[in-house]
Amino acid sequence: MAQHTEPPRDVSAEPVKERDESADLQPFLDELQNSQDLRVNELDARKTAEAVLCTLARRLSDGEDVKLMRALPGGIGRMLGACSIHRGPSHAKRMGRDEFLGDVADHLRIPVDQSFRVVTAVFTAIRDRIPEDEVAAVASQLPADLADLFRRPV
């Protein structure tokens, strides 16, 4: 007599339970944690991503930060949306590359000269996960020297 059995569960789409991260967020954090620039500075991937995303959210207009948050998969977008440090009715703040890098360095308590490489690692991981039109939209709101960091290399 045939027994009724349930089909096997697809566990590849489930979050890793011990880390409690979404299926999209964990590879993003793993990529950052494996970055030489984070390891040299003994930085935690989540805290580093939060620092860069929060500073980026502060630089973008209210509408563009929401578009970026929605373009980023799963928990990555929620990290951007969770930034409340610099929020207000209109949080967009004009800042150049030096101030951006300085703010990230202060947030992470690392030397400013190290923040360039850390920001580049996070920007690369973000950029690889969003469509080209969103890369262009975010870059268009950044000063030229920061926009060049955010755009895909040609």
Average pLDDT score over residue span 90-98: 73
Percent of the chain at pLDDT above 90? 46
pLDDT at 35: 92
pLDDT at 38: 92
Residue from 137, 133, 122, 124 nearest 55 by CA: 122
